[in-house]
Amino acid sequence: MAVIRGLRRRRRAAASGDEPARPRRPRRRIRLENDQRKAQLLALGQQAFSERTYDEVSIDDIARAAGISKGLLYHYFPTKRDLYLAGLRATAADLIERTTAAASPELPPLDRMRAGLDAYLDHVSRQARPFVALMRGGIGSDPEVVGVIEGVRATYVERFLDNAEGTPLAGLALANRPLLRIAVRGWIGFVEAASLEWLSRKDVERTTLRDLLVDALLASLRLGAAAGPAPS
Amino acid sequence: MAVIRGLRRRRRAAASGDEPARPRRPRRRIRLENDQRKAQLLALGQQAFSERTYDEVSIDDIARAAGISKGLLYHYFPTKRDLYLAGLRATAADLIERTTAAASPELPPLDRMRAGLDAYLDHVSRQARPFVALMRGGIGSDPEVVGVIEGVRATYVERFLDNAEGTPLAGLALANRPLLRIAVRGWIGFVEAASLEWLSRKDVERTTLRDLLVDALLASLRLGAAAGPAPS
DNA sequence: GATCCGTATTGACCTGAAGTCAATAGCTGA
DNA sequence: TCAGCTATTGACTTCAGGTCAATACGGATC
C-alpha cells in the first residue's frame, strides 16, 4: 500500500503539476511517559481484542485509536502477538487473583470451592465476549497463548487437588494417580463447557450452576480415586 | 494499473542485463479430472494442516506439493479457509460415522455408550496431532470452524440424551431441562479435556479411561436431572 | 492425421497488513 | 537558551493470500 502510494504521488507530481506538493505540516507530537504509553496501548489492545477477532484487529487500528503511528506501537510491543499476549496475561492474572482471594483458606472446603467458583463465574459473566472468543479458539494454536490458558488450568488443577484434602477424599495421595489427574483435568473442561453453555442462554441461576459444578467436582474426584468400571 | 505493470517490467529488464532472459520452457502441464484434482488437493490439505499450524501452512506449499500452480488451487478452493474447512468437515463426518456405526442401537444402553466412546477414543488416538491442534485453538475463532466443531458436539449431546432413555433416568423429559443440557454439554467438555490429558501421557489404559467417561456421563445426567445443591 | 474446442492450468500481478529503521521533534535539566 | 535524551514519525520492505487474462492439454470430429 505504502509503495503504491509513493508511486502514485510521484506519478501525479510528474504528470499533473496542478497539486503543488503541499508541505504537509506534521501534526503536533504528544509525548507520554514510557509507562503511561505502554499502559494505554495495553488497555486499547485488550479492548480491541475483546470486541473483534485477533485478525480482524489490525495494528493500524490500534495505533489510530491511540493517536500514534504504527512504528511507535512496535516500539512498545515487538509484534502484534506480544500485544495480544500481554493483554491475555493480564486478564489471566486477574482471574487467578480474584478466585484466589475469594477462596479463603479459612473457609470449610466446600465453601471454599463454592466461593472460588462464584468468583470464576462472576469473572466469566463480566468478560463474556472475550471469554467466549478465547475458548472458541482465540488466536490460532499459538504455543504461548495455549501456554497461558493451560497455566490457568494447571493452577486450578493443583488448587482443587489440594482443596480436596479436606473432603472425605483426604489422604489418598491424590496428585500422583494418573486417573485422578485425568478426572480433575476433565472436570476443568466440564466447567469451561458448562460456562459457555450457560452464557449462551442464562436460563439457570448462577448458584444452581455453581452447585452443579461443585457436585461434578466431587463426583470426578470420587471416580478418579476409585479405579473400578461402571456397574453393568 | 497498466502503467505500474509496465514500469515494473521495464525496470527489471533494464536493471538486470546479466541474466539472459532464458526462454523459460514451461513445464509440461498434467491435466487431471476435476474430481481427482479436488480429492488430491483435499488430501494434501488435510495432511499439511495436521502436521503444521493453519498459518504455518501456506497455499504455495500445498500447490507445490501437488505440483500445480497456486492459481489452480484457487480454482478448486476459493480461499485457504475453504480448503481447511473441507478437510475438517470430512474428518468430522468420519468421526460421527465411525462412532455411530460402533454404537449399535441393538446393544444395551451402557454397552452402546462404551462402544461409542471406544470408537471416539480410537479416532482420537489415531488422529492425535490434528485433534490436539484443533482443540487447542485450531484456526483462530473462525465462525465456520466453530460451527463444525459445535455441530459434532451437538450431535453427541442429542445422542447421549436419547441413549439415556434406556437408563435409570428414562422418562424425565430430559432435553428440555436447562440444567441437564448444561450438564451434558459440560460432560462433552469433560471428554475432550480428559482425552487431551490422556493423549499427553498415555499412562492409563484406554478401557479405564472409557469407563471413567461412562461413569462421568451417568453422574452428569444424575446431577443435571436432580436440581438440588450439594450437601454441606 | 489434422484441427477444433472446452476447460484445466498457468504465472505475473494486485492487495493489504505485519514489521523495520533512519530521521525528527518534544521535553528536561543545566 | 541550548544540548541531549528518547519518544515519535512515516516512508519503506516483506510476505502471503487472492485475481485474472492468456495458454495449452487432450478428447472429439472430420
* Contact: A138, B137; criterion CB under 8 Å: yes
pLDDT tops 90 at residue B96? yes
Nearest nucleic acid nucleotide to A58, CA to C1' distance:
C17
CB pairs under 8 A between A and B: 169
Fold observed for domain B32-78: Arc Repressor Mutant, subunit A (1.10.10)
pLDDT score, position B159? 84
The segment(s) of chain B belonging to CATH 1.10.357.10 are 88-225
Measured distance CA(A135)–CA(A174) in Å, rounded: 28
pLDDT score, position B6? 29
B-chain CB neighbours of A7 within 8 Å are 4, 7
- CATH class of the structural domain B88-225: mainly alpha
Measured distance CA(A4)–CA(A140) in Å, rounded: 31
Q: At what angle do helices A80-102 and A34-51 cross, to 10 degrees?
A: 80
B-chain CB neighbours of A54 within 8 Å are 140-141
pLDDT tops 60 at residue A5? no
- CATH class of the structural domain A87-225: mainly alpha
pLDDT tops 90 at residue A230? no
pLDDT, greater one: A10 or A112: A112
How many other C-beta atoms can be found within 10 angstroms of the C-beta atom of residue A203?
11
Least confident stretch, B112-121, B157-166, B167-176: B167-176
B-chain CB neighbours of A197 within 8 Å are 181-182, 185-186
Q: How far is A29 from chain B (nearest CA, A)?
A: 35
pLDDT, greater one: B84 or A166: B84
List the single protein residue with the shortest CA to C1' distance from D26: B31
b vs e for A179-191, b when ≥16 Cβ sit within 10 Å of the residue's Cβ? bbbbbbbbbbbbb
pLDDT in tens, B63-77: 999 999 999 999 999
Joined grid coordinates for residue B177: 431441562
- Among A140, A183, A137, which Cα is nearest to A160's? A183
Measured distance CA(B195)–CA(B24) in Å, rounded: 53
Query: What's the mean per-residue pLDDT of chain A?
Result: 84
Q: How far is B5 from chain A (nearest CA, A)?
A: 12
Measured distance CA(A185)–CA(A171) in Å, rounded: 20
- Among A79, A207, A150, A90, which Cα is nearest to B132's? A150
- From residue A145, alpha-carbon distances to A54, A73, A88, A155, B61 in Å are 12, 21, 8, 16, 25
The segment(s) of chain A belonging to CATH 1.10.357.10 are 87-225
pLDDT score, position A33? 83
pLDDT tops 60 at residue A84? yes
pLDDT in tens, B11-41: 333 333 334 434 445 567 888 888 999 999 9
Measured distance CA(A88)–CA(A50) in Å, rounded: 10
Protein-to-nucleotide distance from the CA of B71 to the C1' of D17, whole angstroms = 11
